[in-house]
Amino acid sequence: MTTSDKREDANASLESELREIDRAWTEAYAARDIMALTDLFADDFIATDSSGEVLSKMDLIERIRLSSARFTRYEAGEFAVRSVFANGSGAIVTGRLTAEGEDNGEPCSFNQRFTRVYAKTDKGWKAVAAHVTLIK
């Protein structure tokens, strides 16, 4: 196996690992699985929502916990690893999220693009930052 082949295998493995972590995030968010999200987000996690509000880890966890939204569809797609940091210590991923459901008894739906930043820590991959933009 050539050095190039080894690098391609490592990149494919890393992409697969990040895709799985990102899938876990999407599923946990839709299910409002606070424990899973608390574990996935780094202590210094920061998110910028579609209105421009900046949220800490605990701010976002509390928002999810208190949300009345219930989703019948919450799917991520167009996943791509955009950049990998030196020695595989971090990565930037992008994707698209489509959601449908109810919020306060009213139908709701949205489409958004997201950017998520992950860092590899001694406790595994942790989300350190996220940004979402609504697609109109």
CATH code of residue 56: 3.10.450.50
| Contact criterion met (CB below 8 Å) for 121 and 19 | no
CB-based contacts of 28: which residues, under 8 Å, 6+ apart? 36, 37, 40
CB 38 within 8 A of CB 60: no
Residue located via tokens 């020695």: 87
Contacts of 127 (CB under 8 A, 6+ apart): 21, 25, 40, 41, 42, 45, 116, 117, 118
Q: For the chain, what is the radius of gyration of the CA atoms?
A: 16
Contacts of 76 (CB under 8 A, 6+ apart): 22, 23, 26, 95, 96, 97, 114
pLDDT of residue 42: 97
pLDDT at 7: 58
Long-range Cβ pairs for the range 59-62 (8 Å, 24+): 61/34, 61/37
As a whole number of angstroms, the distance between CA 109 and CA 46 comes to 24
Specify the pLDDT at position 21: 93
Q: Residue 51's pLDDT is what? A: 94
The boundaries of the domain holding residue 41 are 3-134
pLDDT along the chain (136 residues), means of 10: 59 86 93 96 97 97 91 90 83 94 92 96 95 95
User: What's the pLDDT at 69?
Assistant: 86
Q: What's the domain count of the chain?
A: 1
